């Protein structure tokens, strides 16, 4: 990628953040609309889970493929294709005649979404080469999640109350179109110096693993064990297949060598834990506020502000801390805040009192605000720039997988606890195991943040980077037929 002026780099960052905004808005807006969709489409709890998880599941399955494809054929090209498909999927979702069609169109959205966030992060990584400048850029990127959490519930609630739930998908159209035109004009093309070959077997194994595992969890409360057990077996077989097959490929879909780095492995598990907590938190909160307290969609959006505002404020602060002091402090703050929030709901039934409900939301918002920047920065820093797309895609996949599992597991626990009773009667007691799951996820962020950010962990990251760079040099020299050089192709 050619060296860009400071102003041009800021513009590229803004364009990439626009893609994150529409993807993040889509999730937060949808959560507020769930009760309205449930009534209009006559959906069960598992049906509501699928409107969220159909999207995050496809997204998680395709992110690594999108990242490696962008590194191979051009990041700008894949990014623009993602904007087109995501915008088209949003139009289709707004026209869905029933729940089954909505779930299918959400999957179309996800295909486009898989080409956005990891590719945008790869563009940012290759645009901001200075580590401190990159950390600040990633902090700004994380702040967009806070903006979406603040604006999404309010905009969604207003649209649901005034127009209807279908209108929540319309807001993606102007943002997607603007991002597409700006990308075409201002974002330079870039790709990895050495093209990575496709890995269809690895891709199929990832789809089988994520799909079967999620389906088994969501459907377990309402389906006989004999029906879901084979899916769990397939998921385990797919995992074993990945662990056996991927190390034997020269250019695997998932480069397991990355996981020799303790910070990278820690960031991956932290991402799963943090976003599982987020998915479960939003799912429980939205259903409680509207189906138990009986507030409107707009009022539910206002109740989300105590969580959204700290996320918005803490994300850029976290980015600056990561740039100046490393990821340890932000991760410890995030873990403590998220754990305390989960315990507050699980032990003290925080949702039954306005003051404790407010405190629980603020604590979770602080924790989530601090967790995103260290995840992203740790995942991409230290890795060869030529593999930035793949490394960023693993981090993004971990986020989406975490959110998928959070909604699936917490939703399944809630469905089993409520049973045939009404939400209003059983919700608080039925949700308690779900809040404990969220607290455990927060503690995982705390523990792993402490273990994987010290001197020993940094040593493993340095050794891993050296091995990857040495292997990359050998592979490049071999592909050049002994010429010894290989230039990255870049566009204007």
- When pLDDT is averaged across residues 344-372 and rounded to a whole number, the result is 88
Q: What does the pLDDT look like over 382-420, one tens digit per residue? A: 666 666 656 666 877 888 889 889 988 998 898 888 765
How many whole angstroms separate alpha carbon 374 and alpha carbon 329? 9
Using pLDDT thresholds of 50, 70 and 90, give the confidence band for residue 95. Answer: very high
pLDDT band at 109, cuts 50/70/90? Answer: very high
Beta strand residue intervals within 350-440, DSSP E: none
Nearest to 374 by CA among 323, 308, 408, 413: 323
Q: What is the pLDDT of residues 200-253, one digit of tens each?
A: 898 899 999 988 988 888 887 777 777 788 988 999 999 999 999 988 887 787
Residues ≥6 apart with Cβ < 8 Å to 237: 208
Q: 148 φ, ψ to 5°? A: -65, -35
**What's the pTM value of the predicted model, to 2 decimals?**
0.82
Here the tokens at position 334 are 């995030």
Check residues 176 and 480 and name the one with the higher pLDDT. 176
Question: What is the per-residue pLDDT across 244-278, written as a single tens digit (0 to 9) for each?
Answer: 998 888 778 777 888 888 888 888 999 999 999 99
Q: What is the pLDDT of residues 452-483, one digit of tens each?
A: 887 888 788 778 777 777 766 666 555 555 44
Query: What is the pLDDT, as a whole number, of residue 317?
Result: 87
Whole-number pLDDT of residue 327 = 87
Torsion (CA) 86, 92, 97, 102 in degrees, nearest 10: -10
């Amino acid at each position: 990628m050619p060296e860009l002026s400071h102003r041009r780099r800021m513009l590229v960052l803004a364009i990439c953040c626009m893609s994150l905004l529409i993807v993040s808005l889509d999730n937060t807006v949808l959560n507020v609309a769930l009760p309205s969709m449930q009534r209009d489409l006559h959906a069960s709890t598992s049906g509501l889970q699928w409107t969220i998880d159909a999207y995050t599941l496809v997204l998680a399955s395709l992110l690594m493929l999108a990242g490696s494809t962008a590194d191979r054929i051009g990041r700008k090209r894949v990014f623009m294709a993602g904007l087109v498909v995501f915008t088209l999927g949003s139009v289709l979702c707004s026209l869905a005649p029933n729940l089954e069609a909505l779930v299918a169109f959400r999957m179309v959205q996800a295909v486009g979404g898989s080409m956005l966030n990891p590719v945008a992060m790869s563009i940012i990584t290759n645009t901001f080469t200075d580590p401190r400048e990159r950390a600040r850029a990633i902090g700004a990127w994380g702040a967009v999640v806070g903006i979406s959490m603040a604006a999404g519930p309010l905009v969604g609630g207003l649209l649901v109350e005034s127009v209807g739930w279908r209108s929540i998908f319309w807001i993606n159209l102007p943002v997607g179109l603007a991002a597409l035109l700006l990308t075409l004009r201002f974002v330079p093309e870039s790709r990895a110096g050495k093209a990575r070959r496709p890995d269809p077997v690895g891709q199929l194994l990832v789809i089988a693993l994520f799909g079967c595992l999620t389906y088994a969890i969501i459907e377990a409360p309402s389906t006989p064990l004999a029906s879901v057990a084979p899916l769990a077996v397939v998921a385990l077989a797919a995992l074993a297949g990945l662990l056996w097959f991927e190390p034997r490929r020269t250019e695997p879909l998932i480069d397991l060598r990355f996981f020799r780095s303790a910070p990278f492995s820690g960031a991956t598990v932290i991402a799963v834990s943090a976003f599982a907590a987020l998915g479960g938190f939003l799912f429980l909160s939205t259903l409680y506020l509207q189906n138990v307290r009986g507030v409107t969609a707009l009022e539910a959006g206002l109740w989300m502000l105590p969580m959204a505002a700290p996320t918005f404020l803490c994300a850029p602060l976290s980015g600056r801390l990561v740039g100046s002091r490393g990821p340890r402090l932000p991760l410890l703050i995030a873990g403590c805040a998220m754990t305390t929030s989960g315990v507050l709901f699980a032990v003290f039934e925080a949702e039954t009192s306005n003051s404790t409900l407010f405190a629980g939301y603020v604590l979770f918002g602080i924790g989530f605000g601090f967790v995103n920047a260290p995840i992203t920065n740790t995942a991409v820093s230290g890795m060869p720039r030529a593999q930035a797309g793949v490394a960023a895609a693993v981090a993004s996949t971990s986020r989406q997988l975490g959110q998928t599992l959070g909604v699936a597991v917490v939703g399944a626990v809630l469905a089993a606890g409520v049973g045939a009773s009404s939400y209003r009667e059983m919700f608080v007691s039925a949700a308690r195991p779900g809040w404990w799951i969220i607290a455990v996820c927060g503690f995982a962020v705390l523990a792993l943040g402490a273990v994987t950010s010290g001197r020993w962990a940094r040593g493993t990251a340095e050794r891993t980077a050296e091995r990857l760079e040495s292997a990359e040099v050998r592979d490049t020299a071999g592909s050049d037929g002994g010429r010894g050089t290989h230039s990255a192709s870049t566009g204007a």
